Structure formats: C-alpha cells, structure tokens
Structure 1
Amino acid sequence: MSDVVVFAGTTEGCEVSSFLARHKVRVLACVATDYGSKSLKEDEYLKIHAGRLNESEMEAMLRKCSPKLVLDATHPYAAEVTENIRTACENTGFSYERVLREKGAHQEKAVYVEDTEAAVKFLEGTEGNILLTTGSKELGKFTALPDAGERIYARVLSLPSVMETCKSYGFEGKHLIGMQGPFSMELNGAMLRQYDCKYLVTKDTGKAGGFQEKIDAALMNDVIPVIIGRPLQEEGLSVAECKHMLTERFGLTMKPHITLLGIGMGSEETLTIQGKKAVQKADLIIGAKRMADSIREPGKPVLYEYRSDVIGDYIKSHPEYENIVIALSGDVGFYSGAKKLLDVLKERNSEGVLVDGSESQGDSEKENGCADIDIICGISSVVYFMSQIGLSWDDAKITSAHGKNCNLISMMKHNQKVFSILGTGSAVAELAQKLVKYQMGDVLLYVGENLSYPDEKIFQAKASELTSYEGQALSVVCAYNEKARPSFSTHGIPDEEFIRGKAPMTKEEVRCVSLAKLRLQEDSICYDVGAGTGSVSVEMALRADQGQVFAVEKKDDAVALLYENKQKFAADNLEIVKGEAPEALAELPVPTHAFIGGSSGNLKEIVALLLEKNQDVRIVINCITLETISEALEVLKEYDFADREVVQLAASRSKEIGRYHLMMGENPIYIITCQKPQHME
C-alpha cells in the first residue's frame, strides 16, 4: 500500500518521488522501463514498478495500492499515457494531479511546427544537414525525407534496443549518435559544427530536457531550431508547486538548505566554482534582479528581492524549496547584506521557524543561528578593481559611501590610498568638487564602473578634471594622494595650527582633557555649543571621522573663522550652524555627545534640550568663572546627574625672558563631565 503513486520516468517524476520518500511518505514510482528506474533507488518508503501499463492495468494497480493521491509526472509528449492515467483515476475515484514540465521561452528565430509530420514537411523544402534530437520513437517518420540518410544525424539513447531500431530505419555509422544526456550548450554546439548542420530538430522538453542548451547552441552557430509543439495543451503543477501542495497535504516538516552566495562583480567569470555548484543544485534563486539574473539558469525559479525581512518571510511561506541560493553582490563579508540576512534568519529560527530543519538550538547553534546555512565568499570589488589598476590594497583605507555617512575627504587627506564603493551616477563629480574645495584637486582618482560586465569602464584622472563627470551608479573609486600626511592619533593639535582672530579659543591643554572626557567614538554625533574659532569642533570632526559634528556659534566673526578652519583641516563632516543655543539645536540630529564652551546664560535650557533629544547624551562643560561653575552645579543637581565629575585644570606655559624661563599661568578652567548613570556602559 502506498500513500502516493507517481507515474515517473522523467526528471520531474524522479525528483517528486525522491522528495516524498525523503520525508517518509510511502510512494510507488511507476516507470516504463528498467532504464527509467536508474535515477531512483528503492528504500523503506520508495518502491519502483518498472514496465508499461495500459489503462486497465493502471486501474488494477491503483485499486490494489489505494493511494491518497496520484501524480502524473510523465513526459509532456506522452499524450496517450497521460490520457490513460486520467481515465484510470476517474474510473477508480482516486485524486489526480498533473506535474507538468514548464515550457521553454519562446524563440523568435525558431520555426515552430505542430507535430513530427509538420516538421518533416517543413524540412522537405530545405537544404543542409539536420541534427535530430527527438529520440528514436518517431525516427521512422523522418525517413520520408528524400535524402534522410545523408542529411540527418540522429542523437538517441545508447541502448542496444534503440540502436537496433534506428538501424532498421537506415540510420547507422556516423549518422547515428548514441549518447546519454544531459548535453551542455558547448557539446551541442560542437556537434552542430562537426556535422555542418543547418537545422536542429527538438521538442520543447523544458529545462530538464536540456531545451535551452540546444536552442542557445543553435543560435550561436547560425543553425535554425525546428521546435515540435506539445501534443496536449494542458495545465498542471510545476515541480515547486507540487512540492508545496505535498507539504501542506501531508504536513511535512521541511529542512531547507540556504546558501548566502557572494557572486563577485556580477559576470559569470567572477563567480567561483564553489558558487557555480551551489547554483546548479539550487531549486530557487533569490536576489536583486541584476544579481539573480547573472547566476540563474534557464527555467530555474527566481525571486527578485533584496529586503531581508521579505526574504525571510518568503522562505517561511514556501517550504517547497529545499535548496535556496541568495545572491549577494561581491563578497559576503565586504559591505554586504549577508549580516542583516543572517540576523533575520536567526530571528525566524528563534521564533520556531524550521529554517535549519530543527527546532531552535539555543546556545549550541552555529553563530549564524541556523545550522543549515552555508556562506560562500565571492570576489570583492576592492580585490578585483585594485588588481585591474595595478595597485596593492593591503595599505589602502577601505570604506563604502553607498547609502551611509562617510568622510571621504578626511580619509583622502590623511591616507595615500583610499578605496570606496560609490552609490550614484553623480558621486564621482561630487567627490571631485569637494576635493577641489579643500584644495586637493591634484588627487588622482581611479574610477571603475560596471566592473566585469561587457560595458566595464576603468580610467584615471585628477579630481580637478572630474568635477562635472556623470558616470554610472554601479561604481568604485580609488583616490591616490601623494601629499597625504598621517593625522594625529590623539587630540592635541597645536594652537598655532588654527586660524585665529579675536574670537575665543579653547586652548590645547584644556581641549585635550575635555575631549578625553567626552570619550568620542568614530561615528559619534556631536554638538559644539559656543564653538568660537572651532578648535574643539575640528578635533571632534577628526576623531569622529565617520560621524558628524555641528558647530553652533552666534557671532559673525567666529562663524567666519569656523569656515576657514573647516577648510584648512578638510573637516567635511563638520557642519556650521549660525545661531544661539538652545534654539539653534532644535532641528539638529540626535546627539551622542555635546561640548558646551559657551552658553550665553542659557546653560539650563541647553542641557534640558539635550536630555530631551537623548537621555544618554554625554556632556562636557567648560567653565571659567565662578558664577558659571555655580550655575553648572545647580543644573547637574536639578537634572539628577548622579554620575558627574568636576576637574579644575590650571596649566602654565614657559616664556623666555632673556636667559631665563618663566612659567606663565593660563586661566584656570573647570571641566564638568556628566551622563545619566543608568545609561553608562
């Protein structure tokens, strides 16, 4: 007794039969010949019946097996067999489903004919050799061609019985090719050239029958495909749809295998051998259209999608796919969507979704949260591009400006080589304009667009020559700056380095301690309130070079100095805001850190606004008068800054007077640091 009877003998039939057996559903696979059973292996759940059955024999077998479901996965050209199976199911009352091989894509340069007789009739009016790939069953009909023995090269299965049948029709020697498929496009092409063929006759056997490989080979060799139409215009389930139906009908627990695949630059040449094997094995390709199309095989299901949450939900709701490849640009570890995807899949797994075929494994899970996920690295754009322009990348600063804040100008000022991924067609021009603005127009820019594709473009030019360049969004750049000088590794730019006027400036020693107390990170969002000449703002911008600094200043002369110092130090991530705090802070992004060097009597209001924006903000206040320190201490107490610190700094500098050195004291400064303790690390 079997749960399902599958009339197989095709790739689809074998795949569905094996699928059921793997998931412990009892299945009887019926094939016409012993040869047809070679793709299957009997076990506890899979039994095989080899031998042709007529309609009455089918009925008898179905009554004996009493299956819950009958699947007709026979060849799309086996019209008589399909009719017999349907009739047998109707007579016995068993549920019937047709598993139908998908048709190949329509070919404009091909000749479509209704049946074998029509193909023969068409070929009668032509000249040139013919590669016949329709098998031996209807080979005899082609003998109606007057010169069939000379023109036709018949490719058939290499079985003794088949060879004898072909010989009886007069096909032998070099005109009879006994081979077992599948055949690649290259092998098909070699045969067409070997026998100088002008026509290729085939049935629309779909992906499993190597249809597209035949068509591609024919068109590449200026051979006309003659395609014999399917005898029945029928509807049915694809293999994927059939698996989905079986999963729901029998309540199967699925164990999909997911591969996150770095596809390299996108062309077939930059896909690794390991990646190609994963694609060949996959029954679903997921990825943005450009990426998915670059690796998918003809007839293979594809989901054009790049959003991680949507991908996770799709996999959950489509358990019929057992081997899924998610295509990711370049390398999975180089500014890739792989990290977010892994997080999503891990989250789905923790919710009980059987992404890895088992219940959530807790601490024993692999780091990616799913034991059945493979990660295959690809060739990254930095490796490919730097090799193309002949530069090493081990000493380059590597980053991405695609969809994220990135202070490229500062990097290019302080690093001889900077590689970056860009994200828009105007990105090269915008970068060049900024370099010119910061007096770095002689920086050499290597630009790469559409890497590895036929329209790949790689060139070099000075930044000053590219200020109006309009390029491709799919691009990278490497900046080479011979004049680059390393940036300071700590705070403490000498006071004399800054452009100074009459505006007040936080001196070097005070600046060093204040910045140390701020504890900036590279991506911090900082306010400098009462920025003066901008000495603190500039140092903030250089330390938080992947973040942003807002220098707030109300005096015109100080604002002018701020712009001058911003340009001198190439602090492109420094934005100058003219106005008085707290009003000037209202529309700014949420700060992580704030330095208050001048408050104009509004200290309480400024602190209140900072806390309203971010309860976790870290604040450093400089006070020079006793009145200001008193005001600051009251503010700390009012807003319950239980974690607070006050440091009084008195610095003296030596001054030469004749042969002597006197220590000249600077004004003592009170440095106040505060942050809510519940938010401290």
Structure 2
Amino acid sequence: MNKICVFAGTTEGRRLAQLLAANGMDVTACVATEYGQTLLSPSECLRVRAGRMEPEEMERMMRQERFDLVVDATHPYARVVTENVLAACQAAEVEYLRLLREESTVPDGAVTVPDSAAAAAFLDATEGTILLTTGSKELAQYASGIRDFGRRAYVRVLPMEASLQACQAAGVPAGHIIAMQGPFSEELNAAMLRSVSARYLVTKESGDVGGFAAKAAAAQQTGAVLVVVGRPPSREGMSLSAVLEEIQRRFGMQLYPRISIVGLGPGAEACMTGEARAAIARADCVVGARRMLAAAAPGQEVLEAATPQAMAEAIQAHPEYGSIAVVMSGDTGFYSGTRKLVQYLPEHPVEILPGISSLSYLCARLSCSYEDVACVSLHGRTRPIAEEVRANRRIFVLVGGSTGVKDLCRVLTESGLGAVKVYVGERLSYPDEQIRTGEARELAEQGFAPLSAVLIENPAADRAVGIGLPDSKFCRGSKPEGMVPMTKSEVRAVCLSKLQLTERSVCWDVGAGTGSVSVEMALQARRGQVYAVERVQEAAALVEENRRRFSLDNLTVVSGCAPEACRELPAPDRVFLGGTSGRFREIIALALEKNPAVRIVAAAVSLESVAELTACMEAFPELEWETVCLFVARTREAGHYHLFSGQNPVYLFTMQARSGTE
C-alpha cells in the first residue's frame, strides 16, 4: 500500500487526504490545531495528527513512517511552515510536492499592500468601520497600528479558544467578534458588511477556494473598499488537479471522488433527513439543479447540473473534489435520475441516501396510506393515463409543466372520467403549500403550480382488460360500412391471443383500417408503444379518431405504405399484418431485420393473400409457423326466428423464430 503524508492546512489539503484515503492509500494528514482535526474524518486508511511540529519532529516522523511521498498543502501565507516541511523532506530523503492554491485576480479599485503592517498603516489614515477577515495571528499588529482599533474594527475568526484569546489580547470587544467557520458566500459576506456598516474589508489573497472571490464580490456589492494583503514570496507549486495527475502517474492508479447521491425530499430544507444534511455538510462540492442547490447548499461550493449526464460530466471535470454530494429532489429511488447517474459513473464509489418522496408526503398530509397506490410520472413522459386510472382504484401522478395538472384533468374528463376524485398537492413542504380537492371536470378549469403531485381515486376501477371489444365501440366513419375495413370482434380476439402481447410490447399494426386492432393492442400494451400504419388517408383519420376516443397516448398513427413507412420505426416485438397490398414478404423481412425474435400474426381473407403467405413459409424457413382457419357465424333475425349467418373464413398465420434461433 502506498504511504503518503499530507500537510493539510488548507481546504485543498483536506480534500486530497480524504480522496487518497477513499481510494485505498495509507494517508497521514498533519494539521496544526485541534480544530483542523475536527474537519477531517479519520478512517481505516486515514490517520490525523494534530499539533504544530518543529523541523526536527517533522524529520523524525518522516524517517519513522518512511512515506513514499509528502504533499505540502499548507496555506500560501504559511511560508515558514513550507520551508520547514521541505527541509525535513530533504533530510529524510522523501519526495516532496508543493500543492499551492491558485491565485485570484484582484479587482480594479482594490488597495493592495505587501503585509499586515502596511495594511494597518493604510487603515490608520482612514475613517470608518473595518471588517478584518485575515485571521487571529496578526491581530496584535492591527491593534497597535490602527488608532481607535477597538471601536472601528470587527474581526472574523475561527470558532476556537485560541482565536478568541487572541481577540481578547488585542482589545477587541466581545460584540465585535464574529466567530464562524466558512466557506462564506457572497450573500453572507455582504450581509456581514452591511450589519456592521463596514467601509473597509481586509482580506488575504487566499484564492477562490479560500473565499477571496466571494469577499471581493461582496465588497463591490456593498461599496466597501477592498484591502488585499498580498501573498509572501513562496516556492513554486502545483494546483490540486495537477497534484492529482502527478500522484496518479507516479503510482499508476486512477483516483475517484467519494460520491453521495442525496434525496432531499419534496423541496424545503425542513424535510431533509439528518443523514442527508450530514452528507451535504461534509462534501467538498454539491452538484444539482438550481432549485435543489438553493435549498440544500447555501454558501457551499456548487456545480449546477440538471440532468444525470450533465451531473456526471461535472463530476468527471473536477477531480480536485474528494467528496461530492449530488442532490436530487424527492426520493432517490422514486422517479429519480439516480439510476441513470449511477450508470454514468460505473467506477466511482457511490452511496445512495433516500429522501421523503412526494407520494409519502402527500399521503401523510391526506392522512391516508399508500400501499395500494399505483404510481405514474408524466414529468417529461407520455403515458396512457386514462387507461391507468380505469385500471386502478388509486393512482399517484407526478405532473410537470405550468399546465400539467389542468391537462391531466382535461384528458380524464374527455375520456369519460370527469367524476373521479383528484387531490392536487402544490409546492409541497414549502410555506405556501396548498392541497386542492375536486372532481377532474372541476379542476380542469383551474391553474396549478408546476411540479405538482396528484392523487386520483376511482372507486369504479376494474383491472381486467378484456379482448375482442364490441365493434360498436369503434368509429367507422360517415360512409357506408365496409368502405374502411375493420377486423371484427371475434377475429380480433383470436388475433390478439395469438400475438401474446406483454404490458411493454412495441407493436406494428400494418394496414390498420379503422384501427380496431391497434386500439386493443394499445390497451394491452399499456406501458409499450403501438404504431398503426395505414396508406389510405381516410382510414388513417379514423384510426386517429379512435385513438382519441380511447385516450391512448401510446398509439401513434403512421400514414404511408409499408414497408417504406416502417423503416424509421423502432424495432417491434409484435407485428400484426392486416392489409399489405400484396407485400407480405417485404414487410416480414424488414420486421425480422429489425428484430429476429419478433412475433408476427398475419390475417388473410382472399385466396391470393393465402397463397402469398404460404409462399412465405418456404421463403423464411428459419421461422416456426402456425396456421388457423377461423369460421365465425352471427345470428340474424328471420321473422320470428334467429338464424346464423356465416362470415367469410379468415386464415391466420402466426410466425416466430424457432426455439434456440437468434
């Protein structure tokens, strides 16, 4: 195991130590104070050594531990410590790398001074309140160099006993001490400047990671003069990303950050679990969509990304972060981008922390359970929602968009489900949360907030989805019956049985006619997709009318002649061939090309079609064939009697790859 020592006096140093340990390296992290020790989490691979060391102690430790590498990640202003670490490495003959924080651009209008003494001299000649953010070490120098220091100066220091003692020794009144641990956002810095009416903000050029950019922006926002203490001359160093690249090259390994995917719940911070808060607090960076970042990570370093792919790209573009929290709305296992994000990061160590789902939250608000609730998401998806409501007594729907709930209720009303009871939860968990209740037909006329959650109750639901619907259920058009062909109910039932549809089947109905088979396919394949291919425009219009009549979002009408109209369609797993204009062979060949395991059922009523399909049996010997001749007779009235009238026989050909054939 590779042994590395990191002098972790900076944020980057702590990130590096934790990242190396998370990837299995034996790491010793050296920090100067007990407070610095609390910022690191010891583990099996990470030991933390707290306390200042003299050069001799450093050398002795290096000789005893026999490190493969020492990384000096101390503060840019800790010049003496850097020289001591380098000297100890040279004496102990240990390789040395300097991790040096990149410099920030000092904005125009800022006052730049070489050291704290020069800063005190400049401020002594001014009037107005001062906010000092340079730490506690140089407080005595500022106190002795600035007249009326106790009245004018407010100091921001770490919440440590040593820092408070330094403030007391410098004569800083208790009401002028701000003891806080960063990072501090621009907004928080600006709020502090305004709260003390500061005319001057004093800071070191500590780099963007050290919060310099946020301080500079806050000073500009509030009109305070930025006084910058420049960096002391120091050895050249490398950025964190460059140090990581060098370590990977030297030790021949790939380093991956520790990733926590965190479910935030409905949105408000109050609904976050303690585990989620802890994961976010310990992360070096938080990744997520803007709304989630605003709720979860005020003041932390963030990377804005809304989709799983964008999140993965952001993570991979920033190897300098040893620990990353990715924040997701709701629950990580409930219509979340978590599953796809994990697929984008196959080699990264990932922990997944669940959150409170909008389903459980809404049901809690309604004082009801949810073990019998079917769940659907319409956020960025299309689903045959009317059929879902017909099939389930209770259904939960995630709805997106400003008109999502209104559109949902309109579809239900147009589908004959206007009387179902609908509960709409808007801005769940926020102070302006609202839950509205009513029938679908009533709510179809109202407006709702985006990303609403909906619970629908349909006491009349029936899960059974039969086959062979009555012919009267379908629109046949205004012309005399027979102008547009329709597969009759009894034949349709047998065809659907032979197709052996699944809930997620992708189907072609070629020569759809009125679309009766297409409609029943779509009803069976509720979570799949059906493409009704029809070359006659009048018939295609009837298919579309029947699609609307049954409210089938998973049925698409394709106008055109097969097989040409099918070439751009997704590969099917089920195909029904009704009218093909004598092109059975070409259509079967295309379907097999797209999916060799496709199951095909063809119906023929003419001798010519039967002959062509019989020839296909020889043309496609790799298929297993079944043929059925179906005779159907229906009763008709003849005076006082009812007689059977036979319909034309229908020949059904079923074909599929033989068992064991790819």
Report the TM-score, using the length of structure 2 for normalisation: 0.72
Cα contact 1:331–1:378 (8 A) shared by 2: yes
Offset of residue 674 of structure 1: 1.0
1:376 Cα deviation (Å)? 1.1
- Report if aligned partners of 1:27, 1:47 keep a CA contact under 8 Å in 2: yes
What residue number does 2:74 align with? 74
How far apart are residue 182 of structure 1 and its match? Answer: 3.5
Partner-residue secondary structure (3-state), 1:259: strand
Pick closer, same or farther for the CA change 1:576–1:324 going to 2, 3 Å: closer
Equivalent AA in structure 1 for residue 578 of structure 2:
G
Point out where structure 2 has 5 or more consecutive residues left out of the alignment.
none
Secondary structure at the aligned position of 2:275 is classed as helix
Q: Within the alignment, does 1:377 sit opposite 2:357 as a pair? A: no
Task: Give the conservation status (yes or no) of the 8 Å contact 1:58–1:85.
Answer: no
**Distance in 2 between residues matched to 1:152 and 1:668, nearest whole Å:** 100
Deviation, structure 1 residue 511 = 1.2
Worse overlay, 74-83 or 430-439: 430-439
Out of 471, 488, 491, the position equivalent to 1:507 is 488
The change in CA–CA distance for 1:301 and 1:632 in structure 2 (over 3 A counts) is same
User: SS in structure 2 opposite 1:621?
Assistant: strand
5 Å-filtered alignment, 1:138-287, equals 138-150=139-151, 170=171, 174=174, 182=181, 197-199=196-198, 203-204=203-204, 228-232=228-232, 236-239=237-240, 241-251=242-252, 257-264=258-265, 268-269=269-270, 271-287=272-288
2:504 counterpart of 1:527: no
Say whether residues 1:672 and 2:649 are aligned partners. Answer: no
Taking the aligned partners of 2:43 and 2:517, their CA distance within structure 1 comes to 77
490, 496, 499: which one aligns with 2:466: 490
- 1: CA distance, partners of 2:419 / 2:38: 69
Code of the aligned partner of 2:377? S
Q: Structure 2: how far apart are the matches of 1:106 and 1:380?
A: 45
Cα distance in 1 between the residues matched to 2:651 and 2:225? 88
Change in Cα spacing, 1:341 to 1:165, as seen in structure 2 (3 Å) is: closer
In 1: Cα distance, 2:416 partner to 2:46 partner: 76
Residue 583 of structure 2: which of 602, 608, 619 is its match? 602
Q: Give 2:523's match in structure 1, choosing from 542, 552, 557.
A: 542
User: Counterpart amino acid of 2:335?
Assistant: Y
- C-alpha spacing 1:582/1:569, structure 2 compared with 1 (3 Å): same
Counterpart-to-counterpart distance in 2, 1:451 and 1:198? 38
Cα deviations across residues 285-340 of structure 1 (Å, max 9, x unaligned)? 4556665676456564758585559938965x987654343344443222333223
Q: For residue 443 of structure 1, report the CA deviation from its aligned partner.
A: 9.6
Q: Give the whole-Å Cα distance in 1 for the aligned partners of 2:209 and 2:539.
A: 77
With over 3 angstroms needed to count, the CA separation of the structure-2 counterparts of 1:259 and 1:574, relative to structure 1, is: same
> Is contact 2:204–2:231 with CA below 8 Å preserved after alignment?
no
Displacement of 1:637 after TM fit? 2.9
Secondary structure of the residue that 1:245 maps to in structure 2?
helix
Give the counterpart letter for 1:637 in structure 2. E
Structure 1 residue 407 corresponds to structure 2 residue 361 = no
Deviation at 1:510, TM superposition (A): 1.7
Counterpart secondary structure, 2:654: strand
CA distance in 2, matches of 1:21, 1:396: 44
Tell me the secondary structure at the aligned position of residue 496 of structure 1. Answer: helix
Q: Structure 1 residues 226, 390: closer, same or farther in 2, change over 3 A?
A: farther
2:73 maps to a residue whose letter is: A
Task: Read off the aligned partner of 2:475 and give its amino acid letter.
Answer: I
Query: Equivalent residue for 2:325?
Result: 325
- The one-letter code of the counterpart of 2:617 is L
Please state whether the residue corresponding to 2:261 is helix, strand or coil. Answer: strand
Q: 1:678 to 1:327 in 2, by over 3 A?
A: farther
After superposition, give the CA deviation of every residue in 1:439-488 in whole Å (9 maximum; x if it has no partner): 9899999988988899999999989999999x99x745749698997575
The worse-fitting range, judged by mean Cα deviation, of 508-517 and 597-606 is 597-606
Secondary structure (helix, strand or coil) at the match of 1:591 reads: coil
**Counterparts of 1:398 and 1:658 in 2: how far apart (Å)?**
54
Distance, in Å, in 1 between the alignment partners of 2:475 and 2:397 is: 31
Q: Could you tell which deviates more after superposition, 35-44 or 131-140?
A: 35-44
Matched residue SS, 1:671? strand
Question: Are residues 1:340 and 2:330 paired?
Answer: no
What is the alpha-carbon distance in structure 1 between the residues aligned to residue 425 and residue 103 of structure 2?
40
Q: How does 1:281-320 map to 2 (within 5 A)?
A: 281-287=282-288, 295-296=296-297, 298=299, 300=301, 302=303, 306=307, 308=309, 311=312
Shift in alpha-carbon separation, 1:661–1:383, aligned structure 2, 3 A: same
Structure 2 counterpart SS, 1:492: coil
Is the contact made by 1:532 and 1:553 (CA closer than 8 Å) also made in structure 2? yes
The answer to whether the Cα contact below 8 Å between 1:37 and 1:50 also exists between their aligned partners in 2 is: no
- Distance between the aligned counterparts of 2:108 and 2:445, measured in 1? 45
Q: 1:258 is paired with a residue of what secondary structure? A: strand
CA contact (8 A) 1:292 1:327 kept: yes
Report if the CA contact (8 A) 1:278-1:325 is conserved. yes
How many angstroms apart in 2 are the aligned matches of 1:639 and 1:300?
63
Quick one: structure 1 residues 446 and 102, their matched pair in 2 at CA, closer, same or farther if it must change by over 3 Å?
A: farther
Distance across 2 between alignment mates of 1:475 and 1:109: 45
SS in 1 for 2:325: strand
CA drift at 1:274? 1.5
Alpha-carbon separation, structure 2, partners of 1:210 and 1:491: 68
Q: Deviations over 1:581-603 (max 9, x none)?
A: 44554454433222123344433
Deviation of 1:540 after TM superposition, in Å, equals: 1.4
In the superposition, relative to structure 1, how do residues 11 and 563 fare at CA in structure 2: closer, same or farther (>3 Å)? closer
Q: More deviation in 115-124 or 456-465?
A: 456-465
Residues 351-372 of structure 1, C-alpha deviations (whole Å, 9 max, x = no match) = xxxx4xxxxxxxxxxxxxxxx5
Cα RMSD over matched residues?
6.0
Q: Structure 1 residues 209 and 435 mapped into 2: Cα distance closer, same or farther (>3 Å)?
A: closer
CA separation of 1:576 and 1:231: change in aligned 2, threshold 3 A = closer
1:615 aligned partner: 596
User: 2:536, 2:4 → 1: CA distance?
Assistant: 85
Q: Which residue in the other structure is 1:99 paired with?
A: 99
Q: 1:675 offset after TM fit, Å?
A: 0.8
In structure 1, the partner of 2:375 is: 398
Report the alpha carbon displacement of residue 514 of structure 1 after superposing the two structures with TM: 0.9
Superimposed CA distance per residue, residues 35-87 of structure 1 (whole angstroms, 9 cap, x where no aligned partner): 98898999999796966658xx7998799899875543333333455467678
Distance 2:37 2:553 in 1: 70
CA offsets per residue over residues 127-179 of structure 1, 9 Å max, x none?
5697877315432432444433455566778999887776665567x469697
> Greater shift after overlay, 594-603 or 160-169?
160-169
Q: TM-score, normalising length from structure 1?
A: 0.70
Q: Note the C-alpha offset of 1:493.
A: 1.3
* Cα deviation 1:228-269 (Å, max 9, x = unaligned): 534337664455654553343345675754322234456655
| SS class of match (1:528) | strand
Change (3 A) 1:628 1:20: closer
Equivalents in 1 of 2:534, 2:62: separation in Å? 91
Counterpart-to-counterpart distance in 1, 2:172 and 2:130: 14
In the alignment, the residues of structure 2 paired with residue 483 and residue 43 of structure 1 have an alpha-carbon distance, to the nearest angstrom, of 57
1:634 aligns with 2:619: no
Deviates more, 1:126-135 or 1:68-77: 126-135
CA distance change for structure 1 residues 569 and 141 in 2, over 3 Å: closer, same or farther?
Answer: closer
Instruction: Tell me, yes or no, if the aligned pair for 1:505 and 1:535 is still in contact at 8 Å.
Output: yes
| CA contact 1:136–1:156 (8 Å) conserved in 2 | no
Structure 1 Cα separation of the partners of residues 445 and 38 of structure 2: 66
